[in-house]
């Protein structure tokens, strides 16, 4: 029997809150129930927003909660060369293109083109206009040589056209506490997502699929807020020849106002709870994970 492998993958760009505690502890519980492994991955590709202080806070909080993870911890910022190699493959296969439009330019373009009916992604952000993907190669080279800022975006239409519709690539396995079902992956809902930046050779989506495969993750257990992003990740796995893990998207822990917790809600931060003398077992109890 192959060993099942779970991971908790926080980003050190803020303090952990009760939602992270739920995710970490649920991963731990599911790994234990399956007799499997639990890995910790620090997702710190955003070198501007991630700090060593936040990372140290993650370790403090997780130790306090009683999480046990295997060594070594994978820190994404130490693996840019690996992501670069994967990005180079996508560039060589013409599955990505340099996208030069700033947010303001995107807004102005959409306003000029009829505005209100412009398609939006599941987060409500307007899809990237299909201008840059048709730029002649010479013009792309000129702009890059001129040092124009850009991001690498996935040509989702070209990427999907690689595979026959209706095949199993276009779905992922989603588990819940009571059922396992197959869900249609709809990467096109996100448009041409960013897969790398000019200075950082990856994005969240690219690094997460590379690492989940490299670390032999069999089960991705994470919040429902990432449910529809799974379709994008499924397409990237297919393009890169990576076998997909199974997914389990857990409920989100909401604040007293019924809204999703964010890294700025101080009172539900784990450090604040600990400083207020709340024992870790009360947190586990509150989350119904004791
Ligand atoms: N690093 C991501 C976050 O902190 C989680 C990524 C994932 O679990 O796939 O939101």
Q: What are the CA-CA distances from residue 20 to residues 14, 203, 253, 263 (Å)?
A: 11, 21, 9, 10
**Is pLDDT above 80 for 202?**
yes
pLDDT of residue 262: 63
For ligand 1, what atom is nearest to the CA of residue 41?
1
Round the average pLDDT of the chain to a whole number and report it: 94
pLDDT of residue 17: 93
**Is pLDDT above 60 for 265?**
no
pLDDT of residue 152: 98
Nearby residues of 141 by Cβ (< 8 Å), 6 or more positions away:
none
Q: If you measure from the C-alpha of residue 20 to the centroid of ligand 1, how many angstroms do you get, rounded to a whole number?
A: 10
For ligand 1, what atom is nearest to the CA of residue 23?
8
pLDDT of residue 2: 79
- Kindly report the pTM of this predicted structure: 0.94
Alpha helices, DSSP H, located in the chain: 18-33, 52-65, 80-92, 103-112, 137-145, 156-161, 204-214, 230-240, 270-275, 280-286
Residues 211/74, Cβ–Cβ less than 8 Å: yes
Domains of the chain with CATH codes: 1-77+254-290 (3.40.50.620), 79-246 (3.40.50.620)
Paired sense of beta strands 70-75 and 180-184, if any? unpaired
* CB 272 near ligand 1, within 6 Å: no
> Distance from CA of residue 68 to its chain's centroid?
23
* CB 208 near ligand 1, within 6 Å: yes
pLDDT of residue 254: 82
**Is pLDDT above 70 for 29?**
yes
Mean pLDDT of 219-232: 96
Q: Which of 33-42, 53-62, 165-174, 239-248 has the lowest mean pLDDT?
A: 165-174
Alpha helices, DSSP H, located in 215-257: 230-240
pLDDT of residue 94: 96
Residue with the smallest CA separation from ligand 1 atom 3 is: 10
pLDDT tens for 49-95 read 999 999 999 999 999 999 999 999 999 999 999 999 999 999 999 99
Q: DSSP per residue over 140-160, as a string?
A: HHHHHHTT---EEEE-HHHHH
Q: Which of 167-181, 182-196, 212-226, 272-286 has the lowest mean pLDDT?
A: 167-181
Query: What is the pLDDT confidence band of residue 45, given thresholds at 50, 70 and 90?
Result: very high
* CB 222 near ligand 1, within 6 Å: yes
pLDDT tens for 138-152 read 999 999 999 999 999
Sheet holding 96-99, edge to edge: 96-99, 151-154, 194-197
Residues 193/205, Cβ–Cβ less than 8 Å: yes
**Is pLDDT above 70 for 261?**
no
For ligand 1, what atom is nearest to the CA of residue 20?
4
Query: What is the pLDDT confidence band of residue 169, given thresholds at 50, 70 and 90?
Result: confident
Instruction: Using alpha carbons only, give the angle 210, 216, 220 rounded to the nearest 5 degrees.
Output: 80
The Cα–Cα gap between 26 and 8 comes to 9
pLDDT tens for 97-152 read 999 999 999 999 999 987 778 999 999 999 999 999 999 999 999 999 999 999 99
Residues 215/74, Cβ–Cβ less than 8 Å: yes
């Amino acid at each position: 029997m192959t060993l099942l492998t779970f991971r908790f993958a926080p980003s050190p760009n803020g303090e952990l809150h009760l939602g992270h505690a739920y995710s970490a502890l649920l991963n731990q519980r599911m790994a234990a129930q399956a007799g499997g492994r639990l890995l910790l991955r620090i997702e710190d590709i955003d070198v501007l927003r991630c700090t060593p202080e936040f990372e140290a806070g993650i370790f403090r909080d997780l130790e306090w909660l009683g999480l046990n993870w295997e060594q070594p911890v994978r820190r994404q910022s130490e693996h840019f060369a690996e992501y670069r190699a994967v990005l180079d493959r996508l560039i060589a296969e013409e599955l990505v293109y340099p996208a030069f439009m700033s947010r303001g330019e995107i807004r102005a373009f959409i306003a000029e083109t009829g505005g209100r009916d412009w398609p939006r992604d599941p987060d409500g952000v307007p899809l990237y206009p299909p201008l840059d993907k048709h730029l002649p190669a010479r013009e792309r080279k000129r702009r890059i040589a001129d040092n124009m800022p850009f991001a690498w975006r996935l040509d989702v239409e070209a990427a999907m056209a690689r595979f026959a519709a209706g095949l199993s690539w276009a779905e992922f396995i989603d588990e819940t506490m009571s059922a396992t079902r197959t869900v249609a992956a709809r990467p096109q809902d996100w448009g041409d997502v960013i897969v790398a930046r000019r200075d950082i050779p990856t994005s969240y989506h690219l690094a997460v699929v590379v690492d989940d495969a490299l670390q032999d993750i069999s089960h991705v257990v994470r919040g429902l807020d990432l449910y529809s992003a799974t379709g994008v990740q499924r397409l990237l796995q297919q393009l890169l020849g990576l076998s997909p893990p199974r997914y389990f998207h857990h409920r989100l822990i909401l604040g007293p106002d019924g809204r999703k917790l964010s890294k700025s809600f101080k009172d539900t931060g784990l450090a604040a709870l600990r400083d207020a003398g709340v024992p870790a077992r009360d947190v586990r109890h509150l989350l119904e994970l004791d």
